[in-house]
Amino acid sequence: MRIIAGTAGSIPLKVPRSLTRPTTDRVREAMFSVLAGKLPGARVLDLFAGSGSLGLESLSRGAAEATFVESNGAACAVIEENVQKSRLAGTRVQRRDVLSFLSTTSAGRYDLVFADPPYARDEPTLALLTALLNLPGLAFALPPDGIFVLESFASVALPETPLWEVVREKTYGSTRVSYLSPLPSSPANA
């Protein structure tokens, strides 16, 4: 795995040994092709950050800052190592549970939010995805024109939510990438 493009392009990234499913280069390339116009100067939030590849790719392509939220200590150490290796500035690593971070943080707003939670293959992981999509703190983290990019298991439908509108979706093998915008009635637009 590597940073694909930008100022840190081609720098290899370390991946945590377990508990993560890194976003493939092919999927990241497609995602960042869609998001190219949103990246310059953006504030990025990388949830369930794993190796930090999405936030680091954003920084390499012109984002101003990236906050990485990951509950696993070994993964946080890998993110810190990848940050040092890439020499990208504007990073902050938070070892926290994502739902707790979004419920209690006063970090402000982000232009882009990435989330790559455990794929909803069973009841607990589907419950996590449902809780994430229905958490007002996540919708509040984005301005009305912000984009929430969610990776999920392609064969499982996204749970219903009153907070988000799917504006674009693409499937790559077993991975679905959904681009969501806050609905007018969500906290982001209050």
Asked whether residue 20 is domain-assigned, the answer is no
Instruction: Say whether 159 sits in a helix, a strand or coil.
Output: coil
Mean pLDDT computed over every residue of the chain: 90
Q: Which region, left, alpha or beta, applies to residue 173 given φ > 0 means left and ψ of -120 to 50 means alpha?
A: left
Summarize pLDDT for 69-120 with one digit per residue, the tens.
999 999 999 999 999 999 999 999 999 999 999 987 555 689 999 999 987 7
Cα–Cα distance for residue pair 109/43, rounded to 1 Å: 8
Instruction: Say whether 95 sits in a helix, a strand or coil.
Output: strand
Asked whether residue 18 is domain-assigned, the answer is no
User: What is the percentage of the chain residues whose pLDDT exceeds 70?
Assistant: 93
Give residue 9's pLDDT: 92
Asked whether residue 138 is domain-assigned, the answer is yes
Q: What is the mean pLDDT of residues 128-148?
A: 91
Q: What residue has token string 């739902």?
A: 99
Summarize pLDDT for 160-172 with one digit per residue, the tens.
899 999 999 999 9
User: CA angle, 164 as apex, 162 and 165 as ends, to 5°?
Assistant: 115
- Structure pTM? 0.93
Instruction: Say whether 153 sits in a helix, a strand or coil.
Output: strand
Residue 20 predicted with pLDDT over 70 = no
User: What is the percentage of the chain residues whose pLDDT exceeds 90?
Assistant: 69
Give residue 179's pLDDT: 97
The total number of structural domains that make up the chain: 1
Q: Output the domain CATH number for residue 176.
A: 3.40.50.150
Asked whether residue 19 is domain-assigned, the answer is no
Q: Which region, left, alpha or beta, applies to residue 44 given φ > 0 means left and ψ of -120 to 50 means alpha?
A: beta
Cα–Cα distance for residue pair 10/137, rounded to 1 Å: 35
Asked whether residue 77 is domain-assigned, the answer is yes
Asked whether residue 10 is domain-assigned, the answer is no
Asked whether residue 35 is domain-assigned, the answer is yes
Query: Is there a contact between 141 and 102 (Cβ–Cβ < 8 Å)?
Result: yes
Asked whether residue 173 is domain-assigned, the answer is yes
Residue 163's domain spans which residues?
A: 25-189
Cα–Cα distance for residue pair 68/14, rounded to 1 Å: 15
Nearest residue to 93 (alpha-carbon basis) of 59, 60, 61, 46: 46
